[in-house]
């Protein structure tokens, strides 16, 4: 029986010397990172949350993960690889396009908002205090009332 490990657990076991061998194995259209422990147990790199086998559609990505873990020498077994089945491993996420669209809109709005704030900060006009503004508008209202009263 095999045990599924998260990336952190796999890395820890590797650095602690608990793994006898590590390999990238293909099955169908995906590649999986596997290992054999000192006790002879079969280990598989899994996803962090639900501990499912972590599948790589691209062998290069699996190699990059192995390199990041620190493994410089490992076996690669492509005897069960079926390149025509790579689409079988693709996770369909119709909501991803909508999320990306919303994220782009948020980035655009954030950029616009930051430009507005920067323009206000860069404005070299002298600020006008509230009392002066209130007095000016009171004067304008009084003038408008006077004009309205003269028209009637």
Q: Taking all residues of the chain, what is their mean pLDDT, rounded to a whole number?
A: 90
Cβ neighbours of 134 (radius 10 Å):
10
Task: Decide: 57 and 89 in contact? Cβ < 8 Å.
Answer: yes
- For the entire predicted model, the pTM comes to 0.56
Q: What is the pLDDT of residues 44-84, one digit of tens each?
A: 999 888 888 999 988 999 999 999 999 999 999 999 888 87
CATH class of 2-89: alpha beta
Residues 6+ apart with CB under 8 A from 37: 13, 18, 19, 20, 43
**Higher local confidence (pLDDT), 109 or 151:** 109
Alpha helices, DSSP H, located in 16-93 = 59-69
- Local confidence band at 21 (pLDDT 50, 70, 90 cut-offs): very high
Mean pLDDT of 15-38: 93
Model confidence at 1: pLDDT above 80 = no
> Could you tell me the strand order of the sheet in which 19-27 lies?
2-5, 42-45, 30-37, 19-27, 75-77
pLDDT of 86 reads: 64
Q: What percent of the chain has pLDDT over 70?
A: 94
Taking the domains of the chain in order of start, what are their residue ranges? 2-89, 96-151
User: Based on C-alpha coordinates, what's the Rg of the chain?
Assistant: 32
Token reading at 124: 């070299």
């Amino acid at each position: 029986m095999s045990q599924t490990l998260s990336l952190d657990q796999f890395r820890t076991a590797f650095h602690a010397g608990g793994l006898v061998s590590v390999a990238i194995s293909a099955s169908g259209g995906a590649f999986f990172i596997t290992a054999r422990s000192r006790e002879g147990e079969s280990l598989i790199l899994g996803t962090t949350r639900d501990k499912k086998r972590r599948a790589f559609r691209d062998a290069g990505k699996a190699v990059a993960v192995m390199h990041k873990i620190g493994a410089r020498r490992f076996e690669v077994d492509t005897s069960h690889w079926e390149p025509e089945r790579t689409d079988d491993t693709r996770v369909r996420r119709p909501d991803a396009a909508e999320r990306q669209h919303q994220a782009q809109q948020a980035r655009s709005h954030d950029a616009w908002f930051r430009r507005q704030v920067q323009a206000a900060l860069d404005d070299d006009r002298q600020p006008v205090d509230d009392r002066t503004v209130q007095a000016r508008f009171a004067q304008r209202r009084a003038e408008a009332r006077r004009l309205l009263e003269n028209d009637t």
